[in-house]
Amino acid sequence: MSDAACGPAIPDDVPSANVTVAPRELHMEIFDPRSGDVWLHQQPISEAEYRAFRPEPPYVKSGLGRSAMDFAWFKRSPGADADSALEQRRIGGLDWVRVARPRQFRGLAPGDAPTRLVIEKHHVIGFEAGTRVNFVRLPDGGWYVQQTAAADGSVIAEPDDWALFHVELPRRWVCDLGCPVTVYLFRNLRSFQGPVPQKALPDAQMKPGRGPV
């Protein structure tokens, strides 16, 4: 984790295919049920384009989401031995990269409860100075940073035993949690990932309550 405020947000040696373009805009994922792999289209897409897209079998559309970070990139595809360009494939006339593989996914939790997922991915997310970032602290003391926002703007309340915080960053904050990561995913596709080590949290005052994305 880093709060360096100078230099480019994304290192020059990161392959362009590994970089998510405008992550706060809508992006689409597809899922390969044979392998459990998640493929991401790194370019923004509209709701109409998502509805019209038809991936060839066995791929299925798995979500249209909006990230909560200002910039992001992936260091490698799941299973790769070293940091490198992501595995790429053209599916349904669009370019995709293989970014994640959930472990032992057994379906979504019922109702408004978040689903806990352990995901194999090598994901670096970043937030610029002045950004308000949301965190939750779970009953076990673990800190989790908001990863995605609800694409439709809907709000689902967090569990009663979660403590909500937000921070206004005085400088850029970059978060690399390693692999795997734990993700809590709500049915409106809002999610938090972590745990973020205490020493890696932003060097700024944590304020109680949720802030806007």
Residue 183 domain flag:
yes
Residue 31 domain flag:
yes
In this structure, how many other beta carbons lie within 10 angstroms of the beta carbon of residue 34? 8
Residue 152 domain flag:
yes
Q: Which domain holds residue 154?
A: 16-208
Q: Could you give the 3-state DSSP secondary structure of residue 121?
A: coil
pLDDT at 88 over 70: yes
pLDDT band at 129 (very low <50, low <70, confident <90, very high): very high
Residue 103 domain flag:
yes
Question: Hunting for tokens 């299925």 — which residue is that?
Answer: 60
Residue 213 domain flag:
no
pLDDT at 153 over 90: no
- pLDDT tens per residue, range 157-193: 999 999 999 999 999 999 999 999 999 999 999 999 9
Residue 9 domain flag:
no
Confidence (pTM) = 0.93
Residue 10 domain flag:
no
CA distance 29 to 65: 8
Percent of the chain with pLDDT over 90: 89
Q: How many domains does the chain have?
A: 1
- Is the preceding peptide bond at 11 cis, omega within 30 degrees of 0? no
Extended beta strands in 129-196, E state: 132-137, 143-149, 163-168, 173-176, 181-185, 191-196
Residue 4 domain flag:
no
